[in-house]
Structures are given as structure tokens and as C-alpha cells.
Structure 1
Amino acid sequence: MRMRATVVALSGALALSALAVPAAQADDIEGDTKISNVVVNGGKSVVVGATAAKKVTVTFTATDNSGVDWAQAILFHGSTIETSDSGAVADGKDGEATCTKVNATTSTCKSTFTLEPGYELNNSVAGTWKTWALAAAKDADFVQKDNAKSFKVQRASKLTVNASPEPVKKGKTLTVTGKLSRANWETGKYAGYSGQSVKLQFRKKSSSTYSTVKTIKTNSKGELKTTVKASADGYYRYSFAGTSTTPAVNATGDFVDVK
């Protein structure tokens, strides 16, 4: 990963050396500086497709009785920033956050990051990421938080469904097929997600609510196949609840006309 060395270098050399303190393995604080209200990506998981880079915004509040001098946030994957296996430094000058003064003691800070498949992202780093943050005050106080906020970075998912034959006689057998796939950040394509539980759901034509008919698992290629008895006009769909590395997704309902 190209960013690993950069993350470690910036966390130790750029951010903390500016304060003349050593890099630490835990939160560190000098004086009354505080970081609060950390929000990553608007509070939502960061879902990234197979090829397109994803912009991620981090906002937070920094306070100190003397006022805030500067601040920085870094995103990383791993138990600590020093042992991270991937990460991202904010876009812009030296990776510093843009801080806007609210009053004499408080500033709101914002950083924008770029996460790109094949660079910051490979398949093994999907899941929980952390936010390293530092705020420095005008009186040389500071606070360093090794994990100011945890968040999910996930491989985008797709789900399809097809019920046949259409139309079908009431009581006859319908075969419902589909496929669950997710972004492969290393190949730049979508690939089947194997061994996952997926619900087959049905919604009558006159209803707005889906009900679960049965639960099946994807095969080694992410494919789904099962049968049901046709009972009424309506829509069939597959529904995947998601995992820590892959977001939930529903297939677009396939309408079946029952004669």
C-alpha cells in the first residue's frame, strides 16, 4: 500500500514533531485542548465501487482556551496508526484540516480524503477503519486521539433477481434465480459473493410490503436459485442483510403475472 509509509510519517514526523512530542501508542494530551463531534462521511459507512475513487469528508470540533492553531485528521486501517496496513492523508496542503473559527476558543475543522481502489484500498482492508486526530492550540497545548472515530469502509454490492416463467398459472412452480456480487478492489470488477445468506421475498401487487418466503445461500459464484409455488400477482426480490465488509442490498422486484 502506497499510503502506509505516508500515514506513519505524517502522524509521527509532521503532526507530532511540530509540537516537539514523541509519537505515542495511546491518546495524548497537554493542557485543555479538546476534540469532539467527530463525524466521518456524514455518519454513514463509506461504500466504494470497483474502480471509482471515493471522496470522504471528516468534520470535528476543536477547542482550547487560547484558541485553535491548527488540526489534522488521518484515516487508517489497523489496530494502531503505527501498525496500519493502509490509510489516507487529507487532500490539500500538508494534510492539515481546514479550521473555521467559531469564537475565541472554538473552531470547526474539516478534511477531505480520497480512497481509491487498488491504491488505498485492497480487499483485505474492507471493514472497520479509524480516525487519528490532532488539534494544536495557540498556547502550545495539544490533544492527540488515536481513534477519534471508527467507521466502516465497504465493498459495494449488487443483487439481481429473475422469476420465471412469466406469466405462470396459479399453483405452478416458479424458479427464482439471481446473483449477489461485490466490488473487487484488486481486479477493478464485481465478483460473486459466495456462502452468503439471502432472503427471497414476495410483495403482492396490492401491497407495499415485502414478506420473506425463505432464506437460501449463494453458491461458489454468488449465484442464487430456488423454487416457489405461484400464488398471486406480485413482485419477487432477493434481499441481503450485509456484512461488516459489504453493505446490505435489495434486488429490484421482478413482477410475476399469475393466471
Structure 2
Amino acid sequence: MRIRAAAVVLSSAVVLSALALPATAQASERADGATKLRSFASKTVSPKDSLGATKFSDAVINGGKDIVLGVTAKKSVTVTYTASNESGIALTEAFLWQGTDSSNVDDITGSLGTDDDATCTESTTQQGVYSCKAVFNIDPAHDFADGNGVAGTWKLFLGAWDLYANASYNDDVTTTKLKRAATLTVNASPEPVKKGKTITVTGKLSRANWTTGRYAGYATQPVLLQFRKKGSDTYTTLKTVTSSSTGTLTTTTTAGVDGYYRFSFAGTTTTGSVKATGDFVDVQ
């Protein structure tokens, strides 16, 4: 981070302590987002207010896309934002959290911290305006092992220290959806089939269960049966099928021309969307 020269009323030792305190925290401590959030907030100061004058804007989480996680694969999620303070900024930190009140640990149902402090670069044309980036390395097997209830809306908490060691924070800069990954299979038979005969299409809709570390059937969900004619790039929807109590899908259609059948799931507020790979049927 580039820090411009500034006349500071505090001694250099005080400013350095403001920089060093969060930067020297152990990774395990930094990952405890609830504790770090609480250190920023106060029962006497609204999280929307600030002791300092740093303002946050233009925050984007994961490129504006939902964060979709399976059961084992770790995922790096980038958050970018602008921090502005005419007095200069010494350091910023970012947290993702879920709950109702960041100033009370009991009201935080989920929290994620970064392994390292955010990196910020001051604009060469606008004094006191910094472009920042924070990276969250999320491990669903570790971070969400206590349950699937944390899937849903999460908020971005940003905090900063200026060169006078004043803290600023905003606990709801923007939001994102953190979702459980889904899988979808399809099989159309018989293959080949005579024109006008019945084709049976089966499959299964499953989604990540972070508690067990496995995928499990997703019950009573609307799934589209779609068809793409051979030589075409476009799928058309034939009907909607509802998954069973175990996530299985079964339906029938009439054979017309050669082409591909697939199931398509739009997703929910807690589960990502998914499309099965088309299964080709030769119509004779």
C-alpha cells in the first residue's frame, strides 16, 4: 500500500502501532471474523457511523456473481472496493458476515476473514482515494462444517485506519449470495428409438451438504426438461418436472427428431443453478 506524506498530529510510533496491530495477527485469529468484527464495533456507536472519516464505495464481491461452493473444493473469492479519506489511509480490512448485528457476537451467524490484509493503491490523480482488493480463501469443509443454514445472503464489512489512527467502518457495504453447489444428471432411453415412440428421461438433482461433506438429493424442486435438435445450438423447454423426495427425476416425451435431452435447474436463494450435459437420442 502506498502511503503519501502527511503532517500527522500523532507521533510516528502511534501511527506504526495502528498499522502493525492487525497486520501481525495470526491467520487463525484473523479467520475468527466474529471477534474481529466485534473489535471494530461498539454498543455505543452504530456500525453505520465512524470514528474516522473513511468512506467506502464501489464494492464488488466475486465479480458480482454468487459464491457457489461444493463440499471439498476450496475457492478464492476476490472483493474489490474504493476507500476514500483526504487524511490518507494506513490500512483496511474486510470481512464477510451473516447476521443481524455486527456489534454483537451473538447476532452473527456466520463470518469469514481473509488470510492477509487487503492491498490498497492510492490514485495518482485523486488524493486520498484508494483502490483496494481483499481475497477470501473459503474452505466449505472447514468453514461451514457446523451446518447448511449459513447459505443465503451475506454482508460485506469494511474497516479502515487513517494516518491519525482513527477507525472507520461500515458493516453493510454490499451483499452477496453464498450458495450450495448443485449437480444434475440425465439419461434418455431407449437409444435408438422409432419416431412417435415414447422416450423416458430420468436423472437426479443433488446439492452439497456442508455438514456431511457429501452431495444429497434435493427434494420437490422444479426442473426443466429441455431438448436441442441435432445441428442446433438452442435448447427449448418441453415441460417442468418436480424432483422426488430423494431428488430423482422421471418423465416421458415423444420421439420426434434426432437431438439432445437435458434437465435444467434455475437454482434457489441457497442453491446454485445447474444444467445437465445433454444426452443424445437417435430417432429412426
Query: Which of 198, 205, 220 is 2:230 aligned to?
Result: 205
Structure 1, gaps ≥5 residues long: none
1:90 maps to 2:114: yes
Report which stretch shifted further, 139-148 or 240-249.
Answer: 139-148
- Report matched runs for 1:1-16 at 5 Å: 6-13=32-39, 15=40
1:57, CA displacement in angstroms?
1.5
Give me the whole-angstrom Cα distance separating, in 2, the residues matched to 1:4 and 1:159: 37
Q: Deviation at 1:39?
A: 1.1
* Structure 1 residue 155 displacement after superposition: 0.8
Which residue of the other structure, out of 127, 131, 152, is the alignment partner of 2:156? 131
1:98-247 equivalences under 5 Å are 98-103=119-124, 104-121=127-144, 122-247=147-272
Aligned to 2:100: 79
After superposition, the Cα gap between the structure-2 partners of 1:9 and 1:99, relative to the gap in structure 1 and judged at 3 Å, is same
Structure 2 CA distance, aligned partners of 1:111 and 1:149? 14
Indicate how the Cα distance of structure 1 residues 23 and 138 shifts in structure 2: closer, same or farther if over 3 A, else same: farther
Q: Tell me the equivalent position of 1:57.
A: 78
TM-superposed CA distance for 1:11, in Å, is 1.7
Q: Distance in 2 between matches of 1:207 and 1:5?
A: 49
In structure 2, how many angstroms separate the alpha carbons of the residues matched to 1:3 and 1:200?
Answer: 48
Number of the residue aligned with 1:39: 60
Letter in 1 for 2:130: S
Q: Is the 8 A contact 1:3 1:88 kept in 2?
A: no
> Which one-letter code corresponds to 2:178 in the other structure?
V
1:11–1:23 CA contact under 8 A, matched in 2: no
Provide the TM-score with structure 1 as the length reference. 0.89
Whole-angstrom distance in 1 between the partners of 2:89 and 2:256 = 66
* Aligned residue type for 1:11: L
Q: CA deviation at 1:105?
A: 0.8
Aligned-pair identity (%): 49
Determine the C-alpha separation between the residues in 1 that align with 2:50 and 2:259. 60
* Change in 2 beyond 3 A, CA 1:4/1:67: closer
**Aligned equivalents of 1:164 and 1:226: distance in 2?**
11
Q: Quote the offset at 1:192 in angstroms.
A: 0.8
Unaligned runs of 5+ in 2: 1-27
Is the 2:30–2:36 contact (alpha carbons within 8 Å) kept by the matching residues of 1?
no
1:149-175 CA distances to partner (integer Å, 9 max, x unpaired)? 100111111111100000000011110
The amino acid across from 1:38 in the alignment is A
Measure the CA separation in 2 of the matches of 1:9 and 1:80. Answer: 13
CA distance in 2, matches of 1:86, 1:114: 15
1:4 is displaced (CA, Å) by 11
Instruction: Return the letter of the residue paired with 1:51.
Output: T
